[in-house]
Amino acid sequence: MANGTLDSWLHPRDDEQRQTQSKRLSLIQRLNIATDVASALAYLHHCCETTIVHCDLKPRNVLLGEDMVAHVGDFGLARFLLEASDNYSRSQTLSAGLRGSIGYIPPEYGMGGQVSILGDIYSFGILLLEMFTGKKPTDDMFKDGLGIHQFTAMKMPDHVMDIIDPSLLIERNDAHGDGDRYESEIRARRTTSYRHGSPIQATRLEECLVSVMQIGLSCSAISPTERGQMDVVVNKLKAARDSYLNLRRRREE
């Protein structure tokens, strides 16, 4: 894919940083990518003739096209459900077992639980928190029972700005930006520092981030039955993105 993987954008290696100093995902780009991934999972879970569980959702398996549209790839661990069911206790698969990548595997898989769409939802929640905190779930700081879910939950909602990816404090609308999709109304090519920007800008950013983090926390809940369905998650992400864009457009007008 033209723009590689989501992982290469969230965690660029030193040589990648030297080659592309501007390799930074804006807030809108992250919202668009998250919505694309959620939409792909919603399709697999609810729109296929036989429900499909991806089983290995992580940034390295999210591919970005030339226009930064996200695609979910690598179905090597995917499983078909024998029956399409949103009920966790009834979800059965052709084969069960511990499937996925460390940091993204739902806790119930480690306790012998059946593979289900709720496992994908957990992995998506972790991916979402990673996208907006900039921290991998396998980061060295996460130990002694502290994970990215608990790390985020402890700061919500009043201190969300303390844990977001520092690059989000600078919103860039440049050539790598958001293309024409969802962003046609934002024509100003400028750099805005939210840390030193207006109170309105800071409040708008914080409200959007709180909404997104809450979605990530809900999806990555320890109990599978507490996680939301992906079609609902798609609508919530779109609402957060549209609210942010509409506020931004009204201010510019």
Adjacent-strand bridge partners of 171: 192
Angle between helices 27-46 and 199-219 (to 10 degrees): 30
State the catalytic residue, choosing from 7, 14, 56, 67.
Answer: 56
* Dist CA 153 CA 171 (whole Å): 24
Question: Is residue 178 annotated as part of the catalytic site, yes or no?
Answer: no
| CA 178, 8, 55, 87 torsion-angle sign | negative
CB proximity list for 11: less than 8 A, separation 6 or greater: 59, 136
Contact assessment for residue 34 and residue 212, using Cβ atoms and an 8 Å cutoff: yes
* Dist CA 246 CA 242 (whole Å): 6
* Dist CA 237 CA 200 (whole Å): 21
Question: For residue 90, which amino acid is it?
Answer: R
The β-bridge relationship of strands 79-80 and 62-64 is unpaired
Centroid of chain to Cα 112: 26
Centroid of chain to Cα 182: 17
Active centre residues (catalytic):
56
